[in-house]
Amino acid sequence: MGERLKVFVLIALLGFMAGVIAELTAEYVTPILLEILPAFFSMRYVLSGLTGACLTLVLVSIWAYITGPSEP
């Protein structure tokens, strides 16, 4: 049961970090990108998709690094 609790805590921590990163992205990075590339990034769904893809890559990379190989 202890290992399962560790996994839940780890996932909760990664989710919290993803939320903080998403908030910082929405507050600071998005306005800069809207100034640089207004036509492309004015489509909100494109920006949301790119942010989601980046966050997913980061979270999966962290998870894969922390868990390591499952073979002995």
Across the range 42-55, mean pLDDT stands at 76
Model pLDDT for residues 20-40, shown as the tens digit of each residue:
888 888 788 878 877 777 666
Rounded CA separation 55/48 (Å): 11
User: What is the model's pTM?
Assistant: 0.50
pLDDT of residue 26: 78
More confident residue, 62 or 44: 62
Rounded CA separation 2/32 (Å): 44
- Rounded mean pLDDT of the chain? 78
Categorize the per-residue pLDDT at 48 as very low, low, confident or very high, splitting at 50, 70 and 90.
confident
Q: Could you count the other beta carbons within 10 Å of the beta carbon of residue 26?
A: 13
Enter the tokens of residue 31: 């306005």
